[in-house]
Amino acid sequence: MQAVTVIGIDPGSRRTGWGVVREESGRLTLLECGVVRAAPGETSFSVRLAHIYHELLSILSSHVPDEAAVEQVFTAKNALAALKLGQARGVAVAACAAHGLSISDYAPALVKQGLVGTGRAEKEQVAFMVKRLLNVRGTAMPLDASDALAVALCHLNMRRFARLTGVER
């Protein structure tokens, strides 16, 4: 099996989590993860989106992943919040597309179901499983970053399933 490097992205307009995972011969390795945060005091939404875009371009240039996985927008009770989240997601997708990556998207419930066993898992449960699967011990990890890593791990699982069953996503 050929090695593959995947970036997972958990989009947000104030905090966008990201994580890069490499799988080689079934072995998972965390390369790096983090959170793109809006500049302190920045109130202009368009400037925040531009910041996310440029930071993601820098991360993509640094890690050169083979594929990208981005979390879908969940249905929010607040329409304005859902719209802003969708725009942040669009910026993340655009950054990945600008790097020529194939992009897969996953519903939050599917990501949680695949890692924890229930689509309603809490962020802390997801973080616990991410650390366990990537053999990360004693390291503080922002929940936005662990969510992004969960998306990357979900993608790797779906790739493996597609390869084993012959069904392409």
Catalytic (active-site) positions: 10, 71, 144
Whether 48 contacts 38, CB under 8 Å: yes
Phi and psi angles of residue 108, each rounded to the nearest 5 degrees, phi first: -55, -40
Coil, helix or strand for 39?
A: coil
Nearest alpha carbon to residue 100 among 66, 72, 71: 66
Whether 153 contacts 11, CB under 8 Å: no
Q: How far apart are CA 74 and CA 56, in angstroms?
A: 21
- Other Cβ atoms less than 10 A from the Cβ of 80: the count is 8
What length is written for the chain?
169
Q: How far apart are CA 140 and CA 119, in angstroms?
A: 24
